[in-house]
Structure 1
Amino acid sequence: METSTAAKGKINKMYAMQLATIFIGFIIFGFSENIKGPAIPRIQFDFSLNESQLGTLLSLNALGYLIACSFTAWLTRIWGIKRVTVIAFASMAISGVFIFLSQQYMWFSASYFLMYIGNGMLEIGLAVLGARIFVRNTGTMMNLSHGFYGLSSTVAPLIATGLMKVTMFGHTLDWRGMYLVMLMLSAVPIVFALLSKFPGDDINHEERTPFRSLLRDPVLWLMVFILTFGVVSELAVGGWLVNFLEKAYDWDTVKASGMLSAFFLCFALARLLLGPLTDRLGFTLSLIVFSGLSALCTFAAILGGESYAFLFAAAGVGIAMIYPTVMAFIAKRYPNGSDTAITFTVTLMGLGSVIGNYVIGGVIEFVKGRVGSDSANGLLRGLQAGYGFIGLCAALCAVTGIVLYILLHKRREII
């Protein structure tokens, strides 16, 4: 009896270590991705970058992120998820040191690129860890863990702004010191990861789902489209909502930014609180319901005018659930190939999201030109059409979910 109690206590302790690795990991992930907002103007000034050079910097980093996503599953099979996770956190901490020391643009851009390599590895690593650990209440736990990302993303710009003004030993931290402090927090989850054991690394190569089998599965391709449409709709809000409210309704920056903060708050709370609903509804039906809700809120906000602008924030409730629910779906459907399936879907999703932002800008310019590029009405209609594309992506996510539901229903494989 005592032996059984001790074993149970050891298991509970190990699970707590695993949870700490994932939850703190998502907090760090949210920080690393969203502290750049307040830092970008200062980086641009210090290195005398024009808009084109700044865009190139961010594009190269996005490329590094995608490259890391593409090779992380391969490293996981060779070294195991524990080592890969530690390497991801370590690369982010080291990049913080290099960014702090960088005085030349080339040195800085290389350091920034390394940080995004770590981000990409962490994106896949945390998703794979969740897929292996959350075998019960998968939807609840996936959404809860991603909720920590939402919370840290919400406060990251505020913390970054505050840190850049802090003075230590007679020197202001500024953006270099801020990156050092924030990225060195990656050392915390490294400790928990080293003390943990993660399941799945002992699966033999023969037992894993072959990559060719995954490619032949139409369900996986439908998940790629669902994830891509969902993430384009999610990420585009951060880039276009403030711009829309300022130019379409003449809102000041503070008021427009407040609406964006409200969106992220709805986004984070939905992931923290609504996860159990995905387990009850089922993952496939949840994808349809939540993406449809986001589309309805977005279209209603556009058509209703300024008095319905609060629905832009409400749309965050629906779109927040797409990414973690897709991860939960993959974890359930491909238990012996989740690392490869996740890498495949996330990498293609990344490519799709890059294209999506270009399309939004193109739609705005096209409609504005057709209505009247120099008129206020032309600008308004262009912005409405561009933001309407964000709602369209959420609607296409729901439509693809319906196709997936029909396919799985015929096979009697609904998850």
Structure 2
Amino acid sequence: MTWPAPAALPVEAYAATRRACYTGYVTQAIVNNLAPLLFIVFQTRYDVPLEMLGRLVLLNFGVQLLTDVVAVRFVGRVGYRRPLVLAHVLSVAGLVLLAAAPALAPSAYAGLAVAVVVYAIGGGLLEVLVSPVVDALPSPAARKAAQMSLLHSFYCWGQVAVVAGTTLLLAVVGERAWHVLPLLWAAVPLVNLVAFLRVPMPPTVPEEHRTPLRSLFSAPAFLTLTLLMLCAGAAELTMAQWSSLFAEQGLGVSKVWGDLAGPCLFAVLMGAGRFAYGLWGERVPLAPALVGCGALATACYLLAVLSSAPALSLVGCAVCGLAVSLLWPGTFSLASARFPLGGAAMFGVLAVFGDAGGSVGPWLAGAVGDAAAGGSGTLAALRDALPVPDASGLRVGLLVGTVFPVLLVVAGAWYVVVTRRAAAAAPPAG
């Protein structure tokens, strides 16, 4: 038997599967981005401090990370359908709990934490499963990276919908009725749950053909890819999770305009970058493109933090979306091309590192911001030395977060060098 096995169904039969995967990433955008948009509500109504809000982000991605680790062990054995259905069930349950648990739990924060844990398990399963499903669908090899980028653009469109819809609805219904919003958004995974019960699924890579994880971790190229994934998650999520509160408290912009000009435009430009690569990506070398994206992300972080003009800081926040657009799907595509039989386990391992970055980056920015805002010391001195002193401390937090796109540039450049050396050393074909 050879692998990959020929498709049991024609390519057209998997169109519904691809659409369900797109909506799966919309679901993940909902569970990752809804709560941060409500941070100001949690802070004012439940008196939750900045560091504890950051802890919710850490909890979300930390649980996703643990879910990734567990899922790596069983996805190849049970197939894709059952865990994908479970992911949507947990996403619905977590969003319902987000609305109800703060009023029912012993403390509002405990209720929020329980809701985050439940939907984070669903989000972790989606992260592990959706990308390898699309990668396994029958399509030309030259289009794989472009299709992966197109898939991940739907995370961005979901983020745009969540940011714009939540911000505008919150302005209409008021903060007192905030709990209606998670219930409305729960309809998306509920509908997609039904879709995943019915659509055809590609087979997983059989164990006898799959590249063992031990072999992957012994390959320097794969270790570099894990570092790229860690930095990609941190660079993307740190700005995405904190830009709303940064715009409101650090820049003095109203919540509606801060959300629309910050995280919403961030998501639009991130989606546009991924969509454009999905259309024309085969013409652009992927690894050098990731290095360029990391450099642009570094510049955007510095512009957001160091600019004394709120409008330019918002430009930095927004354009950062374009800068990070290729980082996550691009790293997946590099891994798939370099290790084509890695299977769902390989995607799961990369998701572990991506979620680790998505956990540590936002938490670090929040913790540093809290430390800079209160008391004295080096961080407080750094806060006061910035062009615009920021009482919230988030400028300092984001400045520290700049280390992640810088590391990504270094790791990406190293990957390009290693790949070129390997290609030069390879014996000529034929």
TM bucket, shorter chain: 0.7 to 0.9
The answer for the alignment partner of 2:206 in structure 1 is 204
Deviations 1:158-205 (A, max 9, x none): 4345667999xxxx994444323322322322333233332232x331
The answer to whether the Cα contact below 8 Å between 2:57 and 2:362 also exists between their aligned partners in 1 is no
Equivalenced residues, count: 401
Secondary structure of the 1:336 match is coil
Matched, 1:146 2:152: yes
Identity of aligned residues (%): 19
Stretch deviating more after TM superposition (183-192 or 64-73):
183-192
Equivalent residue for 2:136, pick from 121, 132, 139? 132
Distance 1:211 1:228, change over 3 A: same
C-alpha distance in structure 2 between counterparts of 1:95 and 1:142, whole Å: 27
Stretch deviating more after TM superposition (135-144 or 216-225):
135-144
The answer to whether the Cα contact below 8 Å between 1:287 and 1:401 also exists between their aligned partners in 2 is yes
The answer for the alignment partner of 2:195 in structure 1 is 192
The answer to whether the Cα contact below 8 Å between 1:22 and 1:130 also exists between their aligned partners in 2 is yes
Deviation at 1:376, TM superposition (A): 8.1
Unaligned segments of structure 1, at least 5 residues: 1-7
Stretch deviating more after TM superposition (94-103 or 282-291):
94-103
C-alpha distance in structure 1 between counterparts of 2:198 and 2:424, whole Å: 37
The answer for the alignment partner of 1:411 in structure 2 is 422
The answer for the alignment partner of 1:233 in structure 2 is 235
The answer for the alignment partner of 1:275 in structure 2 is 278
Counting only pairs closer than 5 Å after superposition, residues 3-42 of structure 1 correspond to structure 2 as: 11-40=10-39
Secondary structure of the 1:207 match is coil
Deviations 1:298-330 (A, max 9, x none): 445656642744244223212111111111122
C-alpha distance in structure 2 between counterparts of 1:325 and 1:281, whole Å: 11
Counting only pairs closer than 5 Å after superposition, residues 391-410 of structure 1 correspond to structure 2 as: 391-410=402-421
The answer for the alignment partner of 2:359 in structure 1 is 354
Stretch deviating more after TM superposition (87-96 or 106-115):
106-115
* 1:210 alignment partner AA: P
C-alpha distance in structure 1 between counterparts of 2:158 and 2:389, whole Å: 37
The answer to whether the Cα contact below 8 Å between 2:236 and 2:358 also exists between their aligned partners in 1 is no
Deviation at 1:397, TM superposition (A): 1.0
Structure 1 length normalisation: TM-score? Answer: 0.82
The answer to whether the Cα contact below 8 Å between 2:383 and 2:396 also exists between their aligned partners in 1 is no
Stretch deviating more after TM superposition (70-79 or 290-299):
290-299
C-alpha distance in structure 2 between counterparts of 1:325 and 1:375, whole Å: 34
Deviation at 1:401, TM superposition (A): 0.6
The answer to whether the Cα contact below 8 Å between 1:367 and 1:385 also exists between their aligned partners in 2 is no
Deviation at 1:274, TM superposition (A): 2.8
C-alpha distance in structure 2 between counterparts of 1:316 and 1:11, whole Å: 36
Over the aligned positions, Cα root-mean-square deviation in angstroms equals 3.7
The answer for the alignment partner of 1:115 in structure 2 is 119
Secondary structure of the 2:341 match is coil
* 2:132 alignment partner AA: V
Matched, 1:213 2:224: no
C-alpha distance in structure 2 between counterparts of 1:100 and 1:254, whole Å: 21
Deviations 1:9-35 (A, max 9, x none): 962442211211111111222123222
Secondary structure of the 1:197 match is coil
Secondary structure of the 2:196 match is helix
C-alpha distance in structure 2 between counterparts of 1:379 and 1:101, whole Å: 34
Secondary structure of the 2:199 match is coil
The answer for the alignment partner of 2:72 in structure 1 is 73
* 2:193 alignment partner AA: I
Deviations 1:358-385 (A, max 9, x none): 54456662654335759986549x7655
The answer to whether the Cα contact below 8 Å between 1:64 and 1:120 also exists between their aligned partners in 2 is yes
* 1:218 alignment partner AA: P
Deviation at 1:400, TM superposition (A): 0.9
* 1:394 alignment partner AA: P
Unaligned segments of structure 2, at least 5 residues: 1-6, 426-430
